Every structure is written in structure tokens, then in C-alpha cells.
Structure 1
Amino acid sequence: MATQRAQESIYNIRPPLDEKPGKPPRYISKFRPSVKLEAEKNKAQWKTMGPAKAALPSPKNFLQKHSKEPKLPARKKEEDSKKLPALSVPRRTDHPVMGIHSKKNFINANAVAAITGLPKKPQPIYVDKRQGDKYLLETSGLVPKYIKKKGYGVTPKCVIQRNEEMTRAQKEYEASILEHLKKKALKQLSDEEKTSILQGLKKNWKEVYREFQSLPIKVDTIRQKLYKEKLESQMKQLEHDIEVIEKHKFIYIAKE
């Protein structure tokens, strides 16, 4: 009798488990054998088999007494013969100075200097701990030295920026003035016109000055006094106009 197997099974109901992928093989460089061989080859090159091959000191060069003490150079006989022996008493030709005599009273002078002088300022110091040693503060590095800064002597950025702003403002002001003059329909005198006007003013001044020189020395009448004042005012006005034209480079006049 043939047996029948059940089609249903618990292994068919349970879902298959997800197999985790295995780790990939570790990376091994192809240069590893050559590197290992090079390391073994150069390992401990300074080691030797047995004692080092060094020259042994000679037994004749043994350490002697006082051999390491500094020795003075030998004296030369010529220098010793030139030097004279030291004398305990001066010679007859010598004139020793016994001292400089002065009438100044150093005791009183020192007393006055001590009274009227300013007190000595104590040097700033610092102490490393409560009952430690004292050190000068100036050379300790705690006081900032601005001379040793990297940017010492370099113009600050704020000053450069302010100068640039002032230059830009000046250019904008000049541009606005030119624009304002153009709006008012002003005309700029050319160099030829300026030169011709200047020559005309100087010619007029010479004519007025000639008339002024032709006046009499003694001015008595009212008419002569008024005429003299008129000539003086004309000369002053012409001198002022000439100075204004020569002083300014650009001159603008109203268009007709």
C-alpha cells in the first residue's frame, strides 16, 4: 500500500531567512612582499656581530698630572728686556699729580641736590608667587611692546578708508559743482579769452594810472579831489579783477 505525503508542511509556511552577505576579502597590496623585504633588509643596520671595530688608544697617551689645566703662552725674551722693572718711588723727572684742588663745597652741593631733586621713581616689579622672588616688569614680557608688533608703522585700514572716502567725496563735490554750473548755463572761458581779457584789464589800468600821474601835485579844489578818488577806486577795482583772473584757473561767466 502506497503512503501519501501531505503537501502542507511547516517548512513551507515559514518564510525563508534573509542570508546576510559575507564580508569581502581584505585588501592586500601587491607591493606588500617588497615592502616587507625592504624593511627586513634595512632593520638594525647599526648592529654588529661582536665588538665594534675602533682604533684602540695608544698606551703612551696616558693621562698625566695637570695636563688639562690651561697653560699661559711662553714669554718672549725680547719683550721682557724692553719692559722696565716697577719702581716703588717716582723718578726725579716725573711730576705726579697729587689731586685736583677745587673750592666747591661738595657736601653742601650734594645736600642741596638731594633736597631740591625729584624723588627716584621705583622700578615696576612683579612677584611669581606670594613669598617668591621679585623680577623687573619691563623685561618680563607682560608689558606690551607696540614697537615689536607686526603691523607697527603700517597705515591703519580705517585711515586708508577715510582718505579714500574723502577723495571720493571731493570728486563728487567737484562733479556736482560742474553739473550745477551747467544747469545755470554758465560758460567757461577759454585760455585765449582769458588772456585777452587780462591784457585788456592791464591796458585799462595803465591808462587810468597815466591819468592819475598827470594830476597836479597839490589838489585843492573839490572837483580835483573827487576826480582823484575816482581814479584810485578804478585802479583798485582793476587790480582786484586782474588778481582774480590770475589766481583762478577756471572762470565761468553767464551766457548771454
Structure 2
Amino acid sequence: MSNTIYPPESIYNLIPGEEEKIVKPPRYMSKFRDQVKQEKNLSKASNKTMGPAKVDMPSPDKYLLKHSKEKKLPEKKAFSYGHCNQPRKPHVPAKTEAPLMGIHTKKNFVKSNAIGNIMAVPPLPRPAYVHTVHGDKELLDNSGLVPKYIRKKDYGQTPEYIEQRREEVRRAQEQYDSYVKERITEAAMKQLSDEEHQNILQGLKKNWGELHHQYQGLSVVTDTIRKKHRKEQLELELKQLEKDIDLIERYKTIYITNN
């Protein structure tokens, strides 16, 4: 416990050493300090709310007049018949005035009505259907049973919005087909040449020989975990290389992707 509080006794500790004074580096001062202060004061002065507002005093000549804020009706205008100068209609006759007698019109209403009735064509009955046992009728025009739309000029023609939709679908299909072709072209597989085939096969056999040499140099007794793991790892790598060599020798034509 005493060693943790007091230092161990030594002749070098008898002479007190010089006290080292720690010199602090100068305080960091930004070069934008004055600019920030100025910008802060500018934005702060525009938001002050204490004291009277600094506005111009109203002129004494512009005072509020009496009844100046009341609504005023528009001025009355003289009645006129518009742009055309038509004479005024006569006044309504009084009760004491007698009506004018003996005035006849040129048209003979009795004769004209008789001729009109003689020459009139009887109206055709409008088609209707009976929908109750009591004889209640409804017109066929409003029932939806009459094919009115076949008489239209554009009957049987494809609407314009459907044509636009078909065009959009066709363009989208063309873009998709072009995209698929590009992707197939990019992902097309490449065939290995005979030279590359032999180089890969020789490289695999060379790797297998190096691993087999390392495997032959292992200790016969695997008494530690490290030796056991090393032996298992070499065996797995040798088996994988043997499978790859067998695959390369079995198939003469091999394709690989561009990726």
C-alpha cells in the first residue's frame, strides 16, 4: 500500500528537479470573426420589437374626414333604351277614354285556321312499350331498347384514346425487347479455345502437385488440433482440384460468361 502512495527511495530523488511549465498554444481565432459579428448585428436589428416603430409621421394635411369611410351609392342615370333611339311607348289609356271601334285586320283568322286544319298531316304515333298489366306505357326512345348509337358518324370506329393506348403499349414492348436483346448480348457466353483449355488444365495440375507435395510433407501423427485442421484443409482442396481436372478433361467444349 505504501508503494502506491510514496515513490521508491532513490538517491536520484534527493535532488529536486526543475518544474516543467506547460505552455499552452494560443487560442484559435477564426479569420471570419468580424464578418460574423457584423452579419449577426445586421440581421438582429431588423427583428427588434422593443420601443416605438421607426416610421414616418403622418402629415397634418392628411387627416380623416367625416363620413369618408361610409359606402356611397352610385349616381343615378337617366333611363334609356340602349344605343337605338326608339320612341317612347304611349301611355296606358285611362278609364274615361273609349276604345277605338271599327278597326279590322287584314288577316282572316277563321279562313286561315280552316285551311290549316284541312292541309294538316296527322302526327304519327310515337313507339312505346307497355310494362304493366294496366296498360302503362313508356316511350322507346328513353328506354335504351332502341339502337340510337348505330346512326352516329363514328359508329364502329376505334376511339382515339384506345389507339393512343395501343401505341404506348407497342412502344413499351419495343423498348423492352431491345433491352432484353442488349442484356442477352452482354451476357452471351464465350467458348474457351484449345490453348486456353490446355493452360487451365496445366494450371490445375500444377496446383494439385504443389498441394500434394505439401500433403506428403505432413507429419504422420496428428496429435494436435492444428495438424488435424491442416490435414483436413489440404484434403478438401485436393478433392476440389481433382473434380475440376476431371471436369476439364471430360468436356472439350466449355463456355464461360463475360462476368
TM-score, structure 2 length as denominator?
0.28
TM-score, structure 1 length as denominator?
0.29
